[in-house]
Chain A
Amino acid sequence: MTQYLMSVWHADGHPSVSEEDREAAYAATGAFNATIQGTGVWVFAGGLHEASTATVVDGRGTEVVTTDGPFSEAKEVLGGFWIVELPDLDAALALAAEASAACRERVEVRPFQG
């Protein structure tokens, strides 16, 4: 079995999506989550607040530098993600297709190390 990160990236702030559509996407995503929760597939999932709520911390030097906001280079921001456990990429891609239809966003599938 392999663990995969299924992540949703979008332009910050959902400018093009109406409130109604967003509610519908949340509902569909909740229904999708219900289908995999309690199965061996589900590991963890979560949605994130807007990127403006982020803080970047750089502890590489002697002094810790704290910056308001997300990594500035990013054109798209991480909006939410699932961590799932599945036998192979085909199974992960099939699940990601369902997830994408539910949340109405494209979904990136990426394997975890180890």
Chain B
Amino acid sequence: MPDAAVPGAGPPRAGPAGGGGAGGGDTAERLFRAEYGRLVAALTRRFGSLDLAEDLAQEAFVEAVRRWPADGTPPNPGGWLMTTARNRGIDRIRRESTRDVREEEALMLHGQTSGDPLDPSGPVDDGSVEDDRLRLVFTCCHPSLATDVQVALTLRLLGGLTVPEIAAAFLVPERTMAQRITRAKAKIAAARIPYRVPRDAELPGRLRAVLATVYLVFNEGYLGRAELAVEAVRLGRILRQLMPDEDEVAGLLALMLLIEARRPARVADGTIVTLPEQDRGLWDRALVAEGHDLVRWCLRRGRPGVYQLQAAIQAVHTDARTAEETDWGQVLALYDQLLTLSPTPVVTLNRAVALAELEGAQAGLAATDPLAAALADYHAFHAVRADLLRRLDRVQEARTAYDRALALATNPAERAVLTSRRDGLPTFTTPQLLPFTP
């Protein structure tokens, strides 16, 4: 339910989501965040340990903070960080003296002689490093790890967020989040979760887990911290770069971009602004254009999936210059298609909203009736029904439905709009008001 929900605290960010790099006093911090996943990915393959890779990446950042202000930022900061981290890793292993480690060193030095991707004179972004990041993604989202663990690892290792940042975003004590990540890394090492991209046969299932993780981060950002939505978009862009042939990867990125594009218009004075009422001039046109390009690319590929279809639905909305110009027939057709792939009560509820626009509130309401049991505790179900009942002038029932939605909704901006709608209902309470629909 994209625009039925809201982002919480935190101002909308200026400019396209993601990025990282130029501008401001936090340039180094943003550069580190952008480079972190690359470093950890490549160092893990080289040294065979996530813990060591993280240590080395952090040491390289500390070194950069110490040296760059005096020496000047190197022309290729990413390459500099990679070389520094790699050299520290080699030093560390040379200092060790056990036989096992010597063997590892031999392996490592062998790797160095054959087209070393970490060579600072070579491009940092070559294929090998991209493959490493892809390995890292699939390791973080391995099915033997719980969903919350997958999310935490992906944000930490690939996204480069710090443990306190992740803990704050999910309202979890820092110690808990640190333990979660430490245990997960210990499991990866002990159970030998492989550091590789799944084979073709396993790929669809494994990719679904990766996409679900990123979308979960996005939704957390949508309802909570805006930064998480920005990070999810950044992760989506990385995945798109890493897997340019995967339709659903493009679909997910498009979906996130088109929802994120509306962030500036979504909340006004602490109250959610529903899609038809939004000031479309506030939408981020660059994000809309990027999302539309991806949706068109998906359409040309002709292999729709759940993310692509949801993105296409969003594109119908972002394509309309005014709410009245929305092609609801197209929206409904897309929901019908989505239902065949994902026959869930929530999709059925969203379809009912589109149906109401096309065939009237009565038809929409009837379509929500069968969902009463499945969505009894879902605030959006009651909010949708309340709006439809209000449009049918069934005031008493609308009030009850708004009350039920308010009892379940937790987000302040969402509660604000529900409260204002409920309080805007006519005060007379004739039961069975004549259902007069012109």
Do A and B truly interact?
yes
Residues 117-147 of B, flagged 1 when their CB comes within 8 A of A and 0 if not, give: 0000000000000000000000000111000
Cβ-defined partner of B144 (8 Å) among A2, A87, A93, A113: A93
B99 within 8 Å of A by Cβ? Answer: no
Docked complex Cα distance between A91 and B380 (Å): 43
B191 within 8 Å of A by Cβ? Answer: yes
Docked complex Cα distance between A89 and B198 (Å): 12
User: Distance in Å from the Cβ of A94 to the closest Cβ of chain B?
Assistant: 9
Cβ-defined partner of B193 (8 Å) among A89, A110, A113: A89
Docked complex Cα distance between A111 and B142 (Å): 16
B192 within 8 Å of A by Cβ? Answer: yes
B373 within 8 Å of A by Cβ? Answer: no
Residues of B within 8 A of A89 (CB): 142, 144, 191-194
Docked complex Cα distance between A4 and B190 (Å): 10
Q: For chain A, which range describes its interface: under 10, 10 to 19, 20 to 34, or 35 or more residues?
A: 10 to 19
A90 within 8 Å of B by Cβ? Answer: yes
Residues 19-52 of A, flagged 1 when their CB comes within 8 A of B and 0 if not, give: 0000000000000000000000000000000000
Evaluate contact between B194 and A111: CB separation under 8 angstroms.
no
Closest to B199 in A: A90
Q: Say what secondary structure dominates the interface of chain B.
A: loop
Cβ-defined partner of A111 (8 Å) among B143, B192, B198, B202: B192
Evaluate contact between B144 and A88: CB separation under 8 angstroms.
no
Within 8 A of A (CB), among B199-222: 202
Residues of A within 8 A of B143 (CB): 93
Evaluate contact between A90 and B194: CB separation under 8 angstroms.
yes
User: Distance in Å from the Cβ of A38 to the closest Cβ of chain B?
Assistant: 24
Closest to B206 in A: A90
Residues of A within 8 A of B198 (CB): 90
Residues of B within 8 A of A93 (CB): 143-144
Residues of A within 8 A of B194 (CB): 87-90
Residues 76-108 of A, flagged 1 when their CB comes within 8 A of B and 0 if not, give: 000000000001111011000000000000000
Q: For chain B, which range describes its interface: under 10, 10 to 19, 20 to 34, or 35 or more residues?
A: 10 to 19
User: Distance in Å from the Cβ of B408 to the closest Cβ of chain A?
Assistant: 34
A-B contact count (CB 8 A): 27
Docked complex Cα distance between A65 and B415 (Å): 62
Docked complex Cα distance between A45 and B35 (Å): 47
Docked complex Cα distance between A4 and B142 (Å): 18
Within 8 A of A (CB), among B120-179: 142-144
User: Distance in Å from the Cβ of B118 to the closest Cβ of chain A?
Assistant: 24
Residues of A within 8 A of B144 (CB): 89, 93
Cβ-defined partner of B190 (8 Å) among A87, A90, A111: A111
Residues of B within 8 A of A111 (CB): 190-192
Docked complex Cα distance between A4 and B191 (Å): 8
Docked complex Cα distance between A88 and B202 (Å): 15
Docked complex Cα distance between A4 and B193 (Å): 12
Docked complex Cα distance between A4 and B192 (Å): 10
Docked complex Cα distance between A109 and B143 (Å): 13
Residues of A within 8 A of B190 (CB): 111, 113
Residues of B within 8 A of A110 (CB): 191
User: Distance in Å from the Cβ of B60 to the closest Cβ of chain A?
Assistant: 29
Docked complex Cα distance between A7 and B159 (Å): 36
User: Distance in Å from the Cβ of B206 to the closest Cβ of chain A?
Assistant: 10
Docked complex Cα distance between A88 and B144 (Å): 12
Residues of B within 8 A of A2 (CB): 191-192
Find the residue from A2, A4, A111 having the highest chain B CB count within 10 A: A111
Docked complex Cα distance between A24 and B216 (Å): 42
Docked complex Cα distance between A92 and B187 (Å): 14
Docked complex Cα distance between A75 and B193 (Å): 29
Closest to A90 in B: B194
Docked complex Cα distance between A110 and B191 (Å): 7
User: Distance in Å from the Cβ of B189 to the closest Cβ of chain A?
Assistant: 9
Closest to A94 in B: B202
Residues of A within 8 A of B191 (CB): 2, 4, 89, 92, 109-111
Docked complex Cα distance between A80 and B32 (Å): 50
A-B contact pairs, 17 of them (CB 8 A): A2-B191, A2-B192, A87-B192, A88-B192, A88-B193, A89-B144, A89-B191, A89-B192, A89-B193, A90-B193, A90-B194, A92-B191, A93-B143, A93-B144, A109-B191, A110-B191, A111-B192
A residues apposed to B, CB below 8 Å: 2, 4, 87-90, 92-93, 109-111, 113
Known: A2-B191, A88-B194, A89-B192. 10 other contacts (CB 8 A): A2-B192, A89-B191, A89-B194, A90-B198, A90-B202, A93-B144, A110-B191, A111-B190, A111-B191, A113-B190
Shortest Cβ-Cβ A-B pairs, 6 listed = A88-B194, A88-B192, A111-B191, A2-B192, A89-B191, A89-B193
